[in-house]
Amino acid sequence: MLVCLLASELSDPALDAVIESVHSCTPLISVPMRGRIFCGLDDLAGLHALVQRKGLRAAMAPTRNDALLQAIGSNPGRIDAHEHADEVRVEVLTHLDELGLMPEDTDRLRLFGLDTIASLRRLEERHLRLQFGHRAVALYRFLHGADAGPLPMYVPPPEVLCTERFEEDEREPGPILAAAQRVAAEAVTLLEGRQTWRIEVGIINAADKVICAQSRILRQGTAQLRTLLTHVHALCRRLLAARHRWRGLRLRLASLHNPEGEQMALFAARNSRAEMLELLRPRYASVIKRIEIIDPWSILPERYSRIVALGPVVPTADGERP
């Protein structure tokens, strides 16, 4: 048995936080695509608390596809166990973008009495091909494909950890905020040009364990010390309100991403023809010629245009060019 959690509506930093919470419950995690998480059952109570807190859709089943189908049609905040997904309605297939099915496709299936996954699994690939063409291959493989095997061990993404310990228990805001400023400056250097989207400040006890922590998901990634300090000090003040004894402070920066690239001009901008003429006019006004259109409708060349000198700059009464 395994659990499938759906969280595609969350932002990337919030989704990273959910995967991190899942990892605290089980080391067996697979994320085949964004917002689709398969995990083990090592701490089912912790997973259920996470699903309730975040209002996620989730389900438990023996295979990944069955768990996915059950999770799509489940109620948010619950983890129900199922033996299979045969009773699931075919409408849930339209939520799987990789299958490419539209609502009118499921309407067509219901007209033929195929309204559950069990009825679809009784069909052969040639039957599905008559209805869906090339899309039937992906649908048939999804319904009858073998499970992808055991869940792999999850490897957490990189993060930045900075810690400062006090010689004795500390509760005064001054030394704690000064320590926060020092660890923030160290963390900025360890970012190495990356941006952080999640910040966590924790209180360390004498055993170097985090006994209380406050975190924040940023609206925009940052690598600036001034911005980072603003958030770190705010989190520290929240922790100070709890009146814990501080033996140390730990700053953790997560959801690290490289800043988005900016489009740069490959070539220097060139002056337009009119700008070039104005630059040449003061010195070469009597040499440079230009074509002046006399009559654009004439078919005779001498009446159509003439060649005239560029002419010098003639100032106006107020000293400006005409």
Structure confidence by residue, pLDDT tens digits, 275-318? 887 787 777 777 777 788 888 888 888 788 888 877 765 555 55
Q: Which two tokens stand for residue 188?
A: 């900025």
Once rounded to an integer, what is the mean pLDDT over residues 96-101? 86
> Among the listed ranges 80-89, 100-109, 169-178, 223-232, which one has the minimum average pLDDT value?
100-109
Q: Which pLDDT tens digit goes with each residue over 12-31?
A: 999 999 999 999 999 999 99
| Alpha-carbon torsion (205, 209, 213, 219), positive or negative | positive
Once rounded to an integer, what is the mean pLDDT over residues 73-100? 90
What integer pLDDT is reported at residue 322 of this predicted model? 46
- What does the buried/exposed string (b/e) look like for 5-17 if buried means 16 or more CB atoms within 10 Å of the residue's CB? bbbeebeebebbb
Query: What amino acid is encoded at 101 in this protein?
Result: L
Q: Which of 205, 202, 206, 196 is nearest to 162 (CA)?
A: 202
HEC sequence for 16-32: HHHHHHHHHHCCEEEEE
Rg (CA), the chain: 34
> Domains along the chain?
2-144 (no CATH), 160-257 (3.30.1490.100), 269-322 (no CATH)
Q: Which pLDDT tens digit goes with each residue over 248-279?
A: 999 999 999 888 765 556 666 677 777 887 78
- Cα 177 to chain center, whole Å? 32
Average pLDDT, the chain: 87
Which pLDDT band holds residue 112 (cuts at 50, 70, 90)?
A: confident
- Cα 264 to chain center, whole Å? 23
Please tell me whether the overall predicted TM-score, pTM, comes out greater than 0.75 for this model: no
Which pLDDT band holds residue 197 (cuts at 50, 70, 90)?
A: very high
What integer pLDDT is reported at residue 267 of this predicted model? 64
Once rounded to an integer, what is the mean pLDDT over residues 161-169? 92
d(CA 228, CA 190): 13
Once rounded to an integer, what is the mean pLDDT over residues 149-174? 91
What integer pLDDT is reported at residue 140 of this predicted model? 87
What integer pLDDT is reported at residue 263 of this predicted model? 57
Which residues on adjacent β-strands are paired with residue 164? 249
Is residue 320 predicted with pLDDT exceeding 60?
no
Alpha helix (H) residue ranges in the chain: 12-25, 44-54, 64-72, 103-111, 117-121, 125-132, 135-144, 173-191, 225-241, 273-284, 301-304
Q: Which pLDDT tens digit goes with each residue over 201-231?
A: 999 998 889 999 999 999 999 999 999 999 9
